[in-house]
Chains A and B, each alone.
Chain A
Amino acid sequence: MIEFYLNDQPVRTSEAPASALLDFVRYHEQLKGTKIGCREGDCGACTVLVGELNADGQTVNYQSMTSCLTPLGNAHGKHIVTVEGINAAGSQLTPVQQAIVDEGGSQCGFCTVGFVMSLTGHSLSSAPATEQSTIAAIDGNICRCTGYKSLERAATKLTAELEQRPAENALTWLSEKQFVPSYFANIPAQLAKLRPAAANAVAVPSATTAANTAHSNGSSAVSTSPNGHAQNQNDHGHANAAPFTNALLGGGTDLLVQRLEELREQPGVRLIFDQPGRRGIRHETTGRVVLGAATTASQLLESDLMRSLLPNLPQYLKLVSSTPIRNMGTVAGNFINGSPIGDLTIMFLALGASITLLDAVGTTRELSLPDLYLGYKKLAKAADEQVIEISFPAPLAGDFFHFEKVSKRTHLDIASVNSAAWLQVENGIIQAARVSAGGVGPVPLYLARTSEFLQGRELTAETVSAANEVMQSEISPISDVRGTSDYKRLLLRQLLWAHFLQLAPDLEFVNL
């Protein structure tokens, strides 16, 4: 039984946990304000807010998510808010709604509710509202009519209003200003009541029917990557995946795109998104940073620890998908999805990450991330094994880390080619290097030979050019909808240069 609050109403349902929250909201609860645009998290028309009780038990953290990819089971214990749940009585508009109307930010209206929900979620956020953060809140919402300028004007207006929002008792203020109805004040207490139940109800039989078909990744899949779900489009010899025998479902951002129908009918799908111990980022005394497998891209982006170690990480993560998808997609999901262009995978390959796998009998083992990938969507992982943790050596103060991604559209798109580089340079000599690249082979590539080549060499343009030669021999891009193989080769050369120009802007870029 899945229990949660839908707007101001408690809901108990025995619908399939792996069905889409969108379908539940629209066709089960007949709340038709939430629209269907693409069912793959790429348009934002179905955006809802998902509120989770904070550890304090007093406040709720609301995040925007695309309900098309939110497994219904992930709503368990939470507050799901659709537009019907924020509408004021009568025909009164909330400040978010009013700003959109006033600025002409809605034309055909089909995407509009998604914008309203994203901006309402932003209003409920505890972070200060800035012009940039307000726009970022709607970076997952696509509008075909307005050209966005009117929505930008609405966002500007809203930002100004939110500047008045107090840090303390923000919800009271938001309720007074009619951003949200007054029932929101009761939600923390209601969710707290659900909490003990929440821990048990979806708690899954721990080591279920272990289908020990071993080493075929298709039979057990962890979902959720904040990007990369399109690798099934890019012709790396994809075939129909094997049927699930032991399905694990995380944030849903890949599996609900690829295999919703199948998952919905599948008994015993295990939900790991809210499984205890699967979140959190810690810096261990060994010098390693350890992440829970269900850590989302948003949690990475917001983590003070990660930001202190990798100051540019937020700007890299802004290139990964969109806000609602980052709120859902998990790091392990991105790894296990095995997309050759998984952005997080590419970053973590250069960070030197390993994963900890847990099997059905409780045995764990470590695997270095490059060793996970055997071939296109083939993983060195048994069917009953799941990722529980990810770790990487914390970069040292002088270390250089950089991520590059080029796609047709800069944001909310899948890379044509992406690449990450970690370098240690002392006195003009590259002491150590790890370079990775996606979109240039059947798997996300750790460029072992390029990395090795760089080690011990001088930081010069000649070194970069020579490294490129090595790199070109290490990749095997194919032509597909994301670009021709020639383009991908050229682009990766450019991105290698981009890493080095970022590190040493004075290097003389050499064209060939």
Chain B
Amino acid sequence: MNHLDPHRHVRGESQYLDDVPVQQGTLYAAVFESPLAHGVLRSLDFGAALAAPGVARVLTAADIPGINQIGGIVADEPLLAEGHVHFRGQPVALVLARTEAQAHAALKLIKVEIDPLPIITDPRVAAAQGEFIVPPRTFKIGDSAAAWAACAHVFEGVAENGGQEHLYIETQGAYAFPTEMGGVRMISSTQGPTAVQRHTAVVLGLGMHQVEVDVTRLGGGFGGKEDQATPWGALAALGAFITKKPVKLVLDRMADMRMTGKRHPYSSDFKIGFDADLKIVAYEVEFYQNAGAAADLSPAVMERTLFHATNAYFVPNVTATAFSCRTNLPPNTAFRGFGGPQGMFVIESALAKAAEELSVPTYELQRRNLLHEGDLFSYRQAAEMCHARQAWDTAVSEFDLAGIRVEVERFNQTNKLKKKGFAVMPICFGISFTKTPMNQTRALVHIYSDGSVGISTGAVEMGQGVNTKIAQVAAHTLGISINRIKIETTNTTRVANTSPSAASATADLNGKATEMACAALRERLLRHAETEYTLNYEGLEIQGEEVLAAGIPTETTWDKLVSSAFWKRVALTENAHYATPDLHFDATVNQGHPFAYHVYGTALTTVTVDCLRGTYTVDALQIAHDFGQSFNEIIDRGQIEGGAVQGIGWMTMEEVAYNDEGRLLSNSLNSYKIPDIYAAPKVLDVHFLDTPGHPKAILRSKAVGEPPLMYGIGTYFALRDAVRAFQGHTSLPFSAPMTPEKVLVSLYPEFVRASENTLLTSG
């Protein structure tokens, strides 16, 4: 079964935001942004801009009719700066002009006076000054402090990870239209239509019912359009509301990169202790999250870091504390993995550190500490239907870990200026929004009188194939061809109060709601068949568009049944509500059952480092992954491959760099590099583990969006392994991404003078 959208994609017929035909009278918006990272806004002079050709209006915070606030978790983010500016790129004013070029030209005429204030870019500096977004959180099980004495080995260290630019190829944007009711209708490139709707309503001082948000599809999201599509939607809506004209706002690439937040960089301290059998006894970790200038989703991201602080390992004594640190950078935000990758990177660093000090292979420590069925996580949920060991054992045998070891060893003995390295990366990732109330959605299913079906849900299609999966669920449940099914746009007037398409949970939530709605419709139609055709309800089913009674075709078919039901005034529309059962979590004690289930897997990574140049290739990434019962292997494989390569990018070439003034240096595609076709692993094997799936997963097919990103972490450790093969005595810091620069400098540490090079602070 193929993803349905690509048929249109390859013909260029899929409509994205900027492809929507422009209405006459449309004004184009451009955002005037703060040129300084922190300061007091003294004055704003846009007289010259207003007088420039084509300019219709320049809007500032003073023009906001409602409340100038778009903060989701914490109300700390104005739509347009007021009083202070807190990061470079913060929206200060909105220019509306007749053409896009005129709007952009007018930006250059705006003058702003800002009294500079001290700028913080480093989370540890922020922490030292008590600059926290929310109070710190600690997840605790056992008593780590008391456990150290009993440990045979204890290691401590620091691990740093960089940010990551989402680099959805379609930039952020929205197109808003005034409605006759005095409200706004808009098309938004957002993962969270309800978030855009809710915040726009607040900003405009309207009820949510006066703001309609419609999403056809996104040209990529990856978390970057979960919360951060909101400002652009709200700004376009503000323009349309005030001018009573359609307003279109599309960020150009560099504006998008400057103004939007990214994956959170973390700086973390770890301490890990083992018994004599190399079982982990205790783990303590402090995460300093670089949240940027406003909360955005940072508190939730930070929480997931704590959930995944022990990755796929059982640790009886854990004390994990996280600080969300306020800095003068754009607010960092959701990105595939949502804090999980950062948590896992630290414990993997701790294991690598221990292995290096103990002179044992890291995989030996990893293997001995993998989760068993029933093991408790620090948050007290047990690992149920745990496939951690199955994934590990399968990867090790399927991809021949022993053979890889021998080959790497042989290669490294015979090559002086090239070294291979390898690493194993097990993962365990919890599925569900950790904010329990968000695990709900609805599906609205219409069966039209001709037997065709239209489905609306809260799911946003952004390439992950959720629309195809939903159509498959509906076709499967109704017993009809997928060709009869259309997945409608995601629209707040059809499905209200939705959660964003995020947390890997979109297909589960919206698929389950669709399944419920379709099952109800199926039952209603079969009840109708029972009376209409005097059939025994027991044993009635629809398969292949035929109505079967005890497996035998009856005189009626899907078409006829639907038509007859319509004429008998049977309701052919169903709206189902799904809320994931059995979830609870008490954030005051950080205990509960936050996840519907966990996803497991193990990846082997093999790399080759060119020790003359510091460059490298990922030779192979071989993954055994717990899909459950996949019902769309093409889509699921695509998620694994794409997620893993994105993770490799994060760990290797993707380096978000700000300077001390909070100016983004990696501000375009020529200075921020994501993997190209040659950077993808030469071999990328995906083995579908034979697991039963989980009843809370849609058709027992487990969520697949985020988990594979974390396979990329293995590349960091494989590179480290190769570097150590060249220069074994080097004490390497745990610092990702492992750029060619870091590799070369690690290979030849004596070359680089001790002098600190302070120009670049890596995100």
A483 to B15, CA, bound (A): 40
A106 to B2, CA, bound (A): 10
Residue in B10, B166, B646, B665 with the greatest tally of chain A CB atoms within 10 Å:
B10
B669 touches A42 (CB 8 A): yes
* Any A CB within 8 A of the CB of B169: yes
**Contact residues in A for B170 (Cβ distance below 8 Å):** 35, 37, 108, 110
**Contact residues in B for A490 (Cβ distance below 8 Å):** 744-745, 748, 751-752
Which A residues between 375 and 415 are near B, CB-CB below 8 angstroms?
404, 406-414
* Any A CB within 8 A of the CB of B478: no
**B670 nearest in chain A by CB position:** A230
Of B10, B464, B748, which contacts A106 at CB under 8 A?
A: B10
* Any B CB within 8 A of the CB of A152: yes
A494 touches B669 (CB 8 A): no
Q: List 16 A-B contacts (CB under 8 A).
A: A33-B11, A36-B18, A104-B635, A110-B170, A111-B169, A113-B9, A139-B678, A147-B641, A147-B675, A147-B684, A148-B676, A406-B740, A410-B678, A484-B760, A491-B741, A494-B744
**B758 nearest in chain A by CB position:** A479
A409 touches B219 (CB 8 A): no
B645 touches A148 (CB 8 A): yes
A404 to B613, CA, bound (A): 9
B677 touches A35 (CB 8 A): no
**Contact residues in B for A32 (Cβ distance below 8 Å):** 12, 15, 18-19
B9 touches A106 (CB 8 A): yes
Given A108-B170, A147-B680, A151-B677, residue A479 in contact with residue B757 (CB < 8 A): yes
Which A residues between 215 and 271 are near B, CB-CB below 8 angstroms?
229-230, 233, 261
**B757 nearest in chain A by CB position:** A484
Report the minimum CB–CB distance from B130 to chain A (whole Å).
32
* Any A CB within 8 A of the CB of B62: no
Of B15, B644, B759, which contacts A479 at CB under 8 A?
A: B759
Of A110, A408, A481, which contacts B16 at CB under 8 A?
A: A110
B638 touches A494 (CB 8 A): no
B7 touches A145 (CB 8 A): no
B613 touches A495 (CB 8 A): yes
**A139 nearest in chain B by CB position:** B677
Report the minimum CB–CB distance from A512 to chain B (whole Å).
7
A492 to B196, CA, bound (A): 50
A40 touches B670 (CB 8 A): yes
B10 touches A35 (CB 8 A): no
**B417 nearest in chain A by CB position:** A509
A143 to B676, CA, bound (A): 7
Given A152-B677, A233-B667, A481-B666, residue A107 in contact with residue B463 (CB < 8 A): yes
Q: A94-102, A172-180, A350-358: which lies at the B interface? A: A94-102
Interface residue range, chain B: 35 or more
B463 touches A408 (CB 8 A): no
B residues in contact (CB < 8 Å) with A:
2-3, 5-16, 18-19, 21, 101, 104-105, 166-171, 217-222, 252-253, 416-417, 462-465, 612-615, 634-635, 637-638, 641-646, 653, 655, 657, 665-671, 673-680, 684, 739-741, 744-745, 748, 750-753, 755, 757, 759-760
Report the minimum CB–CB distance from A20 to chain B (whole Å).
12
**A105 nearest in chain B by CB position:** B6
A481 touches B671 (CB 8 A): yes
Report the minimum CB–CB distance from B489 to chain A (whole Å).
15
A501 to B680, CA, bound (A): 28
A417 to B101, CA, bound (A): 36
Q: Mark A97-130, 1 if CB is under 8 A from B, else 0.
A: 1001111111111111100100000000000000
A108 to B686, CA, bound (A): 21
**Contact residues in A for B464 (Cβ distance below 8 Å):** 107
A176 to B539, CA, bound (A): 51
Given A139-B676, A509-B612, residue A108 in contact with residue B462 (CB < 8 A): yes
* Any B CB within 8 A of the CB of A28: no
Report the minimum CB–CB distance from A494 to chain B (whole Å).
6
**Contact residues in A for B684 (Cβ distance below 8 Å):** 147, 149
Of A30, A110, A404, which contacts B219 at CB under 8 A?
A: A110
**Contact residues in B for A165 (Cβ distance below 8 Å):** none
B750 touches A45 (CB 8 A): no
A150 to B684, CA, bound (A): 10
* Any B CB within 8 A of the CB of A14: no
**Contact residues in A for B14 (Cβ distance below 8 Å):** 109
**Contact residues in B for A413 (Cβ distance below 8 Å):** 670, 673
Of B11, B21, B657, B753, which contacts A93 at CB under 8 A?
A: B11
A residues in contact (CB < 8 Å) with B:
30, 32-40, 42-43, 45, 82-84, 87, 91, 93, 96-97, 100-113, 116, 135, 138-139, 141-152, 229-230, 233, 261, 404, 406-414, 416, 479-487, 489-491, 493-495, 497-498, 501, 509, 511-512
Given A40-B670, A109-B217, residue A406 in contact with residue B677 (CB < 8 A): no
List the 4 shortest-distance A-B pairs measured between CB atoms, nearest first.
A33-B12, A108-B463, A110-B219, A109-B9
A32 to B641, CA, bound (A): 29
A39 touches B252 (CB 8 A): yes
Residue in B217, B417, B745, B751 with the greatest tally of chain A CB atoms within 10 Å:
B751
A30 to B18, CA, bound (A): 11
B753 touches A486 (CB 8 A): yes
**A106 nearest in chain B by CB position:** B6
**Contact residues in B for A39 (Cβ distance below 8 Å):** 252-253
**Contact residues in B for A113 (Cβ distance below 8 Å):** 9-10, 12
Of A36, A479, A491, which contacts B760 at CB under 8 A?
A: A479
Of A42, A100, A479, which contacts B670 at CB under 8 A?
A: A42
**Contact residues in A for B751 (Cβ distance below 8 Å):** 486, 489-490, 493, 512
B2 touches A146 (CB 8 A): no
**B647 nearest in chain A by CB position:** A147
A100 to B169, CA, bound (A): 18
Report the minimum CB–CB distance from B462 to chain A (whole Å).
6
A144 to B638, CA, bound (A): 12
Report the minimum CB–CB distance from B41 to chain A (whole Å).
26
**Contact residues in A for B615 (Cβ distance below 8 Å):** 406, 410
Report the minimum CB–CB distance from A510 to chain B (whole Å).
12
A494 touches B220 (CB 8 A): no
A107 to B8, CA, bound (A): 11
**Contact residues in B for A144 (Cβ distance below 8 Å):** 166-169, 220, 222, 642, 646, 674
A179 to B614, CA, bound (A): 42
A487 touches B741 (CB 8 A): yes
Of A151, A406, A412, which contacts B614 at CB under 8 A?
A: A406
A40 to B673, CA, bound (A): 13
B669 touches A408 (CB 8 A): no
Report the minimum CB–CB distance from B126 to chain A (whole Å).
24
Of B10, B19, B217, B222, which contacts A100 at CB under 8 A?
A: B10
